Chains A and B, each alone.
Chain A
Amino acid sequence: MSDLTTVGKKITKRDAPLKVTGGALYIQDMKIPGMLYGGILYGQYAHAKILKLDTTRAERLPGVMAVITAADVPNDFRFGIMKDNPPLKGGRVRSTRDEIAAVAAVSAEIAAAALELIEVEYEELPGIFDPLEAMKEGAPLVHEEMKSNILKMPWKLVCGDVEAAKKESAYVVSDTFRTQWVTHCCLGTSGCIAVFDTGNNLTMYSNTQIPSLAQNDYIEALAAFGLKGRRVRIIQCTIGGGFGSKLDTYAYEYIAILLAMKTRKPVKFIFSREEEFFATSPRQCSITKISQGCDKDGRLTFREVEMVLDNGAYTSWGATTPSVMMMPISSLYKVPNIKYVAQCVYTNNTYSQAMRGYGNPQATFAIESSLDQLAEKAGLDPYELRFRNANEPGELTPQNFQITSCGMKECMAEVVKRLDWKGKKGNGNGRGVGMASLIHVGGGARVYKSDGCGTIIKMDDRGKVDVMTGATEIGQGSETVIAQIVAEVLGVNIDDINVINNDTDVCPWDVGAHASRTTFVAGNSALGAAQKIREKMLAVAAQNMGEAPASMDIKNGVVFSMQDKEKSMPLSKVLRKVHYSPGGKMFTAEHFYDPPNENFNKEFKGNLSVSYAYGVHGVEVEVDRETGQVKILNYIAAHDVGKAINPMLLEGQIYGGGLMGIGYALGETMIYEKGHLKNGNFLDYKMPTAKDVPPVQAVIVETDEQAGPFGAKGIGEPGLVPTAPAIANAIYDAVGVRIRDLPITPEKVLRALQEKAQADTGRSGA
C-alpha cells in the first residue's frame, strides 16, 4: 500500500473545470425542443375541505396546454413508503404544501398566470400541529380513514435489562431534548423534465440521488397510469446539492409525468426558492426523553430513549430515521443495556425526509448532551467519562454491530490536544469547551433488500477507460474517488479515466447516494471491476511478452515485467494487439458489489454496516452574557475515515458538514405557525454565510478498514452529527446553562442565564 500513485493523493475534482467555467449543465439549464413549463397550485390551508375547484379559466388562457387535478390521477395512485401520498390531492388538503392542481404551458410565465386563474373554495378544518396532541385519544385525525394519528411503524429496540441496570446505577440522569425542522438548502432547486417517446417510454431528466429506486418508482407509477411494462430511463443532470433531499421521489415528478402523458410534450418543472423551502421535505423534528446511568467508576450502565417524531401529513423516509437513530443509541460508547422506542405521528405539518445524518444528529444531540449531565453528576470530567466508555475495535455492540476498525479514542485525543481541553475546561469565565462523538455507518447500510452497486469498465484501443458506475455524484466527489481507485488498480493516469454516472440506460444498479455508502460500496465495486480487467490485461500481456502474469505490473499506462523493467509494452499496444488479432476481443469487466452486511431482524438487530465511522468534535465557545450570543472560537473535527482516498475532498466533506452542523446548532430553523412556513427565504432562514465560519480544523485519523477500498470508510454525513451537542456542552461549560432545545438562539441562552441568575440569588438568599 505504500507506493500508491493516485489513492491517498490530493487529486482535483474531475468535474471542477466544467463547474468553474460555467459549463456544467444543471436541470435548470436543460431545454428540450417543444418543452412545456409546469406549475403547481398548492392548497392555502393546513387542513381544509376543498368545496370547489374550477380550472376552466386557466384552461382558456392562451398558451396553456393542460390543467390537471386529482381527478386526472388514474387508479388513485399514491406514492411514498406508506403509499399515503397522492401526487394531487382531492377533496381535502392536509398540509399547506398539498398539491391540488397543476398546469403545463408554453412558458413559465403563462404557467404562473394560469395558476392564478384557478378558482378554489375551501372550508377550513381544525388542524393538529403538535405531535403530542395528535397522539392523544380523540385528537382530530389527519387521515380520516385511519384509526389513529400514530403511524403503524413501531420502532422498538431492547438490549439487556434497562430496569435492572437502573437500580444498580450509581448515577442516573434524565432529561428531554427537542430538535427543530431544518432544510437542505441545496443551492440548485428541485426540478425535472419528463419526456415520452412515441412508444410511451419515459425519459426523466432528473436531480435524483437514487436513480435505480426512482426508476422503480416511476415504473410503478406508469403501470398505475396505464403504461404497464414501459421503459423508464433516468438521465441525471449535474446536481446542485443533495444532502438527502433527493432520496425520495416527490409529487412534482409524478405530476410532470402526468402532464407529459396528457400533452404528449416534454414537461419541465423547476422549483422556485419559496417552493424549495415549503414543498420539499425537511429534517424531521424530534422530542426525545433520555435517561442514562453509570456506575461509580463512570462505566455506562444503561441508556433509555423515548422519541416522538412529527411525521407531517404524509410519509417519506423521515419516518424511518429511527432505524438510524438506533445506531448511536445502542452503539455510541459501550452501553450494555438499551431501550429505545419511537413513534411517528401524523400532523398537519410538512412531512419529513432524509437529510444528511438521517436521524443521527437528533439522537446524538440528546445522547451527548445527557452524557455531559451524567459526567457532572458523577463528578467526572466529561472527556474522562467518554474516554472510559469509548468504543474500540473488536467490539460487538448490543445491537449486534461488529466494530472492526475504530479510531474514537484517537479522535478524542486529537480534540483534547488541539483544544487544550485541560487548560480551557471549567474556567467559567464566559468561555468554555465541549465535545461530542459520533458513530455512523461507514461500510454501507443494508436498509433496502440490496445494498449493492454495479460497475462496468471498458477499455478502448488507446488505453482510455470508461467506467460506468451506479454511484451518483451529488457534489461530494464520488466520481473522482472512483476514478482514483480505478486508476490505481489499472496503473493508468487518472486523466485517462472517464466516469459515466448519470444514465440508467448504461449505468448499472445502485441503491443510491445515501448512508455515506458511496466511497465504500461503489468504491469496492469499482475496485472489483478494475481488478478483473487488470487480470485479463496482464494475462494477455504476459502471454505476448513471455512472462508469468504474476510477475507483471502496470504503471503510468505501461505494462512491464517486475524482474526486468526493460521488458515493457504500452498498455494501448497490448489492447490493440488483442483487439486486432484474429478472434480479437475488447476488454470489459463488470462487478457487482453487495457488502456482507445484514438487514435488521425483527428486533432491529443485525450488523447493518460492514464498518462504522467514528468522529469526535470539540469546540471552544465564548458566550456573551448580556446578549446570549455564542461565538465559536475554535472548532476541531476529528474523523476516523479508515483511509483518506482523497484528503482534499474529505476535508471538504468535513468542513461542509461541520458548518451545516453549526447552522443546525445555532441558527437554522423552519418557523411553522399552524402549518404555515413563515421564513421560507434565505434572509430569514439563517443558513451560515462565509462570515459565520469559525476557525476550524479538520483532523483525519486513519484506521485502515480492512473491508474498505484501500482501507476507506464512508464520511459523507458524519461531519454534522456531533456539532450541536458539542456546542451545547461548551456553552454549559462557559456559563452553566444547558440548552435542550435546538437551535440555540441568543434568546434561549439569555433567558436561561436570567433564570439561572434568579435561581442563584434565590438560593443564596435562602
Chain B
Amino acid sequence: MTRFEYHKPHTIKEAIGLMESLENAKFIAGGTDVMVLIKRKKIAPAHLISLRNINDFSSIDIGDGLQIGGGVTHSDIVANEFIQKRYSALTDAAGKVGSRQIRNVATVSGNICNAAPSADTACPLLVLDADVKIAGPKGERQIPLDDFFLGAGRVDLGPGEVVTGFHLPPFGLNTGSAYIKHTRRQAMDLPMVGIAVRVTIRIGGSEIGCKDAFCTIDSISNILRRLEDEELRCEDVRIAMGVVAPRPVRTRKAEAALRGKVISEALFEEIAEIAAAEAQPRDSIRGEAWYRREMVKVLTKRAILISVDRVLRPDDMI
C-alpha cells in the first residue's frame, strides 16, 4: 500500500491553495485513473487533493447552452434527460464508460484531464464545441477543448490550475449528435476506435422536428431512402476521432467536405475515406492499425446517419 496524505478542500480556492503549497501533489476526483496509477506504481504522489467535497461542484445547468460542473460524474450525465436529447453524443459516451460502479464516481473532468487517446467523453465534447473552464492561482480562464489537449496525456493546465467545468453552446432542433464506441465487449472495455459526430441540417426548406418523419427502427436504410426524394443539406458538422492519434482529434478535412453539401450516400463514402486518411492509428494489443482505420470509415458514416436520424426523430432519440 502506498503512502500519501489526503486533503479534502471545500472550495476551489482552497484546492488551488493546497496545490500551490504542497510538494508532489495531485488532484483526485473519482480516482478511477489516479488510484489505478498509484496502485500500479506508475505515479507516487505525496499528497492527493480531493475534488469530491467542493461545494456546488456537481451541478448541471441549462441556460446559454449547457454548464457541466467540474465534479459531474458519468452517471450524472446519463441521468440527465436534457443532455440525452440535446447533446446525445455525450450521453452515448458517458453511458459506455467502464461499468456502473466506475461511472458512479468517475468524472467528466477526470476523463478529460487524464487525456487518454481513448477517453470516451473527449470526442463528444469536441464535436459539441465544449469550452473548458479553468481556475488557477492567476484567476479563471475558458478555452476551447480542442486547444486544451496538447498530446498524449498532456493538457493545457498550469501549476495549481483546476478544471471547474465545461460550457457547451446551445444547439437548435436541427442539430443531432452521436458517439459510437467500437469495442470487443459490450461493457468494461476501452474503445478500439471512438467516433463522435454532430450535424446541423436543413431539409429542403421545410421545418425540422416532425417526429413522424420515419417510424421504423431501421433508421439507416430509411434515411437513405428518404435522401433520394428530398434534399438534406448539412449546414454544419463536427467529426472527432478517438484512439487514432496521440490525442482525440477532429477531422477537419472530412468536416469541410460535408459542410454545406446535400447529404448523399456517395458523399458519405467520400467523407469516410477522408476521415480514414486523416486518422493515424497504431498497432497495439487492443487493435490493429489497419482495422482501426477501416472502422473510422464505417463508424464515421454510421455516426453521421445516427446524428441525422436523431434530428428527424427527436422523440426516439436515445
Contact = CB atoms under 8 A, between A and B. Distances in A.
Interface of A: 109, 626-628, 667, 671, 678-679, 682-684, 686, 688-692, 745-747, 750
Interface stretch (B47-55, B237-245, B283-291): B283-291
A183 to B, nearest CB: 15
B190 A683 contact: yes
Given A683-B189, A688-B185, 7 more contacts: A109-B1, A678-B285, A692-B185, A692-B187, A746-B184, A746-B291, A750-B291
Given A683-B190, A686-B189, A667 B285 contact: no
B285 A627 contact: no
Contacts of A683: 188-190
Given A667-B185, A679-B285, A686-B184, A627 B190 contact: no
A152 B294 CA distance: 47
Contact of B187 (A627, A628, A689): A689
Contacts of B190: 683
Nearest to B299: A627
Nearest to A754: B294
Contact of A747 (B186, B187, B285, B288): B288
A747 B291 contact: yes
Contact of B295 (A627, A667, A678): A627
B185 A750 contact: no
Contacts of B186: 689, 691-692
B301 to A, nearest CB: 8
B298 A626 contact: yes
B309 to A, nearest CB: 17
A270 to B, nearest CB: 14
A519 to B, nearest CB: 32
A750 B193 CA distance: 15
Contacts of B291: 628, 746-747, 750
Interface of B: 1, 182, 184-190, 285-288, 291, 294-295, 298
A684 B190 CA distance: 9
Given A684-B285, A747-B291, A691 B298 contact: no
A62 B166 CA distance: 50
Given A109-B1, A684-B286, A746-B291, A690 B187 contact: yes
A688 B185 CA distance: 7
Given A109-B1, A683-B190, A747-B291, A627 B182 contact: yes
Nearest to B294: A750
A689 B288 contact: no
Nearest to B291: A747
B79 to A, nearest CB: 19
A6 B190 CA distance: 47
A2 B185 CA distance: 46
A190 B182 CA distance: 33
B268 to A, nearest CB: 12
B300 to A, nearest CB: 11
Nearest to B295: A627
A739 to B, nearest CB: 15
Contact of B188 (A678, A689, A745): A689
A626 B298 CA distance: 7
A180 to B, nearest CB: 13
Contacts of A671: 285
16 contacts: A626-B298, A627-B182, A627-B295, A627-B298, A678-B285, A686-B184, A686-B185, A690-B187, A691-B185, A691-B187, A692-B186, A745-B184, A746-B291, A747-B287, A747-B288, A750-B291
Nearest to A666: B184
* Interface majority SS (helix, strand, loop, mixed), chain A: loop
Contacts of A686: 184-185, 189
A667 B187 contact: no
A713 B244 CA distance: 52
A683 B184 CA distance: 11
A747 B188 CA distance: 20
A679 B286 CA distance: 9
A351 to B, nearest CB: 22
A689 B185 contact: yes
A627 B195 CA distance: 14
Contacts of A626: 298
B133 to A, nearest CB: 31
A109 B288 CA distance: 38
B282 to A, nearest CB: 14
Contacts of A689: 185-188
Contacts of B188: 682-683, 689
B185 to A, nearest CB: 5
B116 to A, nearest CB: 12
Contacts of A628: 291
Nearest to B297: A626
Contacts of A691: 185-187
A671 B1 CA distance: 29
B55 to A, nearest CB: 34
A628 B187 CA distance: 18
Nearest to A626: B298
B158 to A, nearest CB: 32
B184, B285, B295 — which one has the most chain A CB atoms within 10 A of its CB?
A: B184
Nearest to B301: A626
Contacts of B298: 626-627
A667 B192 CA distance: 14
Contacts of A690: 187
A148 to B, nearest CB: 32
B185, B187, B298 — which one has the most chain A CB atoms within 10 A of its CB?
A: B185
B211 to A, nearest CB: 28
A683 B118 CA distance: 13
A764 to B, nearest CB: 22
A667, A692, A747, A750 — which one has the most chain B CB atoms within 10 A of its CB?
A: A747
Contacts of A692: 185-187
B298 to A, nearest CB: 4
A570 to B, nearest CB: 52
Nearest to A747: B291
B302 to A, nearest CB: 8
Contacts of B286: 684
Contacts of A679: 285
A157 B188 CA distance: 44
A679 B187 CA distance: 17
A745 B291 CA distance: 11
A443 B298 CA distance: 51
Nearest to A690: B187
A746 B294 CA distance: 11
A626 B190 CA distance: 20
A109, A627, A750 — which one has the most chain B CB atoms within 10 A of its CB?
A: A627
A171 B77 CA distance: 60
Contacts of B285: 671, 678-679, 684
A42 to B, nearest CB: 16
B169 to A, nearest CB: 32
Top 3 A-B residue pairs of the complex, sorted by shortest distance between their CB atoms: A691-B186, A691-B187, A626-B298
A189 to B, nearest CB: 15
A667 B184 contact: yes
A689 B99 CA distance: 10
Contacts of B295: 627
A679 B189 CA distance: 13
Contacts of A109: 1
B98 to A, nearest CB: 9
Contacts of B187: 689-692
A437 B177 CA distance: 46
Contacts of B185: 667, 686, 688-689, 691-692
Contacts of B287: 747
Contacts of B184: 667, 686, 745-746
Nearest to B193: A627
Contacts of A746: 184, 291
Nearest to A107: B1
B115 to A, nearest CB: 18
A678 B284 CA distance: 10
Contacts of A688: 185
A462 B36 CA distance: 55
Nearest to A667: B184
